[in-house]
Every structure is written in structure tokens, then in C-alpha cells.
Structure 1
């Protein structure tokens, strides 16, 4: 067995007198000033207000989502020869019901024909499509008159555009 080298007595005394390293306390996550707390509360309130406004907007547009769902059903029926006449009448009814959900009844109920088409144009970006204007001026009121197969897609596109993007004054 080999003998281990022993340090001299002064080194041994110095090693015994050493203390452990002092580790600092962990840094607190709590803000040190009231300003950060106030800023956090203001940001939290702003986020809550934004969420409330988005929810209110979503609720206010429920009639649009329902109208678009019904428009999809009407589109399916317009493309079928057996249900085309009934769907043709339902499209005009859908547009009128959509407008009634957004404007007062006395403003909407008496409007028809070109006046109705002008009303729809006045409440969207630009003019309504020519196929929708033709439908509202004539085809909506004639029993058994339905647009041709090519015009159906244009009519549905114009109706969808108006339902999605019409402007309602607050």
C-alpha cells in the first residue's frame, strides 16, 4: 500500500477554516413596483374587453350565419330540376328575412322590385350583381320562371356576397 502525501499543518488548518460558497436568493417573479401590476391589470382588462366585443359581434352576426346555411340549402334545391321552382321563391324570401333581421320592419316590408334591388345595392360595397338585380326585378315575382343553369351560380354568388357583406348602420 502506498502512503498518501499529507499536506503540511498550515494547509490543513486553512482547508478546515473554509466555508461553503454563499448562493444568492432566487430572483422573485413578483414585480418590485406597483406600475408593473397596474400595467398587467390594464392589459388584462383590455384583453377581456376585446373578447367581449368579439363575442358581441359574433352574436350580432348570428342571422348572417343562419342565412348562409339556408342559402346553401336553397342552392342545392335550385340545382335540382324537381325543386327549382320552390327554391326560386325561397331565395327571395331569404333575402327579405335577412334584411328584416337587420333593419326595422317598416323600412323593409313595403320595398319590392327595383326599389328592393336599389336598397340592397345601397347597403353593400358597390352595386349588387346583375343576376341578382334581374332576379329581384322580375324572376322573383313570376311563378315558374327560374334562371338558367348558368345564371344560377351567378345569382347564388351575388346573394351570398350581399348576405356576408351588407352594412348595417348602428
Structure 2
């Protein structure tokens, strides 16, 4: 025997259900700002990001000489050895100074004037200053390995501390 079908709604309920309207969903909320202030803030933020990226790129380009000088010191010490590389490192220091300061200030410096300039620019290692002063006499094999290593390290530190205003 089949179970009896449930009785349908009475006619009054059916009439009431037919008169109901469907549920209306609201429009989705827009993600676009409705006031000009948010647009202005977004434009300001975009401008700040572009400006910061431009400054970073400008600083990166301006400091290229430092990266190249450090790579040259590493190349010299790797290929020639630390003792023989002292003359090349001294040349790198001069090229760095020519790039970082006006040519009129640094190009003519040599000997004691060059050492005074380096001391004013915080190249304060006494052993490095002594090596630069006597480099024409003690270059190559005559230079102690520890002194040459200290000189190369001092040169690296000095170059790393230099910054060109971008």
C-alpha cells in the first residue's frame, strides 16, 4: 500500500502565495570611490611611489662608480695577489676621488697633498696612509702581506662609505 500524499495547501494559502513578489537582491556595492578625496589620495600615493622609484634609480646610477671600484679591487687582489695589487688599488682610490669630487679639486693632487685630502675624507688608517706615501718604493713583493691586506680592506671600507648625493 502506498503512503498517502500529503494534502496540498488550502486555497486561501495558495492565493496568498501567488500574490507574493520575488525577493529582490540589492545591487552589488561598487569598489570605486564615490568622493574626489579618495581619488586625490590614490593619485598622491601613485606619485609618491613613482618619485621614490625615480630617486632610487638615480641613486643606483650615481653610485655605479663605487660598485665598479669594489669589483676592481676584488679583481686585482684575486689575480695579482694582495701585495702586488697595492699599486692598482691606489689607482682605484684616485679614480674614485675623481668621480666623487670635482675634477678641479682632486685631479692635481699627489704626494702629501693627496694624503691630506684622503685624511680630510676620513681615510684615516695610518698603515694605509704610510703605504700610499711609500708605494713607489714598497710596491709588489716588498710590501708585507698583512699590510697589503689591511690597505685593501681600508680602501674597500672607504669606498663603501662614500655616497654621491643623488
Equivalent residue number for residue 71 of structure 1: 73
Instruction: Note if contact 1:123-1:167 (Cα within 8 Å) is conserved in structure 2.
Output: no
Cα displacement string for residues 113-149 of structure 1 (whole angstroms, at most 9, x for unaligned residues): 343233123224xx522332121121x2225454322
Q: Which runs of 5+ in 1 are unaligned?
A: none
Equivalent residue number for residue 131 of structure 2: 135
Equivalent residue number for residue 10 of structure 2: 8
> Over aligned residue pairs, what C-alpha RMSD do you find?
2.1
How many pairs were matched up? 163
Q: For residues 139 and 46 of structure 2, what CA distance do their matches in structure 1 show? A: 59
Matches for 1:5-44 after TM superposition, within 5 Å: 5-44=7-46
Equivalent residue number for residue 158 of structure 2: 162
Taking structure 2 as the reference length, the TM-score comes to 0.86
Q: For residues 98 and 62 of structure 2, what CA distance do their matches in structure 1 show? A: 14
Q: 1:22 to 1:8 in 2, by over 3 A?
A: same
Instruction: Note if contact 1:63-1:101 (Cα within 8 Å) is conserved in structure 2.
Output: yes
Q: Which has the bigger relative contact order, CA under 8 A and spacing at least 6?
A: 2
